[in-house]
Amino acid sequence: TRKIIIDTDPGQDDAVAILLALASPELEVLGITAVAGNVPLALTQKNARIVCELAGRPDMRVFAGCEAPMTRTLVTAEHVHGRTGLDGPTLPDPTMPLDATHAVDFIIETLRAAPEGEVTLCTLGPLTNVATAFRAAPEIIAKVREIVAMGGAYFEVGNITPAAEFNIYVDPQAADIVFRSGVPMTVMPLDVTHKALVTRPRNEAFRALGNRVGVATAEMTDFFERFDREKYGSDGAPLHDPTVTAFLLRPDLFEGRHVNVEVETGSELTLGMTVADWWRVTDRAPNATFMGNLDADGFFGLLTERLARLP
Ligand code: BDR
Ligand code: CA
């Protein structure tokens, strides 16, 4: 099994990514660390616990992390995810506790205690928690096996500004620290996630599972969808974050390139843009495998099969 920490700002698509991880015996989720992003921290940490209980895992450790980006003011995305961040299904308030440890301390302590190359960080939101941990305890950087992140864009450019993807835009300083850290990175930009579209038949396949997770997933992706259909005219909403957990299970579903990726932290116009040297026109050293393509049917097949295993 592969040991992972999921750093997240749920978010319906974050929720599905967590469900996929909890449904998969190949992955051992050491903890879920919440960060401010789609909605403020008070909601993301609560939503993370709602999702664990939905999955029948009230034993999971959930930690609250940073409530604001490193230097900027928080930008949220209620226009996409709704007021709660998890609009769509009606799910009960969580009864499982929030862990008393700060998410950043949990990340630091877990990596300190782990052998080198054992723990993978899966990041589904702004990179504030991870960058804060790296800055506070630089010795943990060498311990990380890999970071698999949803964020950025190349050909598909921006979804929160014309130039930037939401997760990177919210905390470009944090993203810059993480991309420069030297940790091997695999990145799922919009170029990939805009190919993971929840079409009607895919949504109905979730609902047809008949278990409470399948029905909730259908309701979450239904809610998420109304935004993208209106906004982009796309055939179903992009299911961004589950590509991260799917990659850990089935890397063969993805295609990308190991390239140099840098984050714009200065320009107001292109703040948070991920500049990927896709055509290798510079001699800057590659620091990330930037994915560009995915087998969407394989991805949804995997997801549906796994969600069926949950309550
Ligand atoms: C990313 O931003 C959030 O709204 C989603 O949860 C995803 O992580 C997509 O740009
Ligand atoms: Ca997210």
- 133-145: per-residue pLDDT in tens? 999 999 999 999 9
This complex has an ipTM of 0.99
The bound ligand whose nearest atom lies closest to the alpha carbon of 238 is: 1
Name the residue with higher pLDDT: 230 or 254.
Answer: 254
Reported as a pLDDT band with limits 50, 70 and 90, residue 225 is confident
Ligand 1 centroid from CA 198, angstroms? 15
pLDDT > 90? residue 16? yes
User: Is the beta carbon of 80 within 6 A of some atom in ligand 1?
Assistant: yes
Give the residue, out of 194, 225, 228, 240, with the most ligand 1 atoms within 8 A of its beta carbon, to mutate for a pocket test: 240
User: Is the beta carbon of 228 within 6 A of some atom in ligand 1?
Assistant: no
Query: What span, in angstroms and rounded, lies between the C-alpha atoms of 222 and 190?
Result: 20
Active-site pick, 102, 194, 240, 258: 240
Give the residue, out of 35, 124, 234, 273, with the most ligand 1 atoms within 8 A of its beta carbon, to mutate for a pocket test: 124
The bound ligand whose nearest atom lies closest to the alpha carbon of 157 is: 1
Give the pLDDT of residue 227. 61
Give the pLDDT of residue 189. 98
Q: State yes or no: is 240 an active-site residue.
A: yes
Give the angle subtended at the CA of 127 by the CAs of 124 and 128, to the nearest 5°.
Answer: 130
User: Is the beta carbon of 240 within 6 A of some atom in ligand 1?
Assistant: yes
Query: What span, in angstroms and rounded, lies between the C-alpha atoms of 54 and 212?
Result: 8
Structure token pair of residue 184: 């091997």
User: Is the beta carbon of 287 within 6 A of some atom in ligand 1?
Assistant: no
Sign for the pseudo-dihedral over CA of 180, 134, 5, 79: negative
Q: Which of 124, 86, 112 is nearest to 240 (CA)?
A: 124
Query: What span, in angstroms and rounded, lies between the C-alpha atoms of 131 and 138?
Result: 10
Query: What span, in angstroms and rounded, lies between the C-alpha atoms of 96 and 93?
Result: 9
Reported as a pLDDT band with limits 50, 70 and 90, residue 271 is very high
User: Is the beta carbon of 159 within 6 A of some atom in ligand 1?
Assistant: yes
Backbone angles phi, psi at 228, to 5 degrees: -70, -35
Q: Tens digits of per-residue pLDDT, 272-293?
A: 999 999 999 999 999 999 999 9
- Mean pLDDT for 183-191 is 98
Q: How far is CA 34 from CA 25, 61, 185, 208, 303, in A?
A: 22, 11, 20, 30, 23
User: Is the beta carbon of 44 within 6 A of some atom in ligand 1?
Assistant: no
Q: Ligand 1, closest atom to CA 14?
A: 6
Task: Note the pTM of the prediction, 2 decimals.
Answer: 0.97
Give the pLDDT of residue 283. 96
Name the residue with higher pLDDT: 161 or 232.
Answer: 161
The residue whose CA is least distant from atom 10 of ligand 1 is 166
Ligand 2 centroid from CA 282, angstroms? 31
Reported as a pLDDT band with limits 50, 70 and 90, residue 228 is low
Q: Which of 74-78, 90-94, 152-156 has the lowest mean pLDDT?
A: 152-156
Query: What span, in angstroms and rounded, lies between the C-alpha atoms of 16 and 22?
Result: 10
Average pLDDT, the chain: 96
- Mean pLDDT for 51-71 is 98
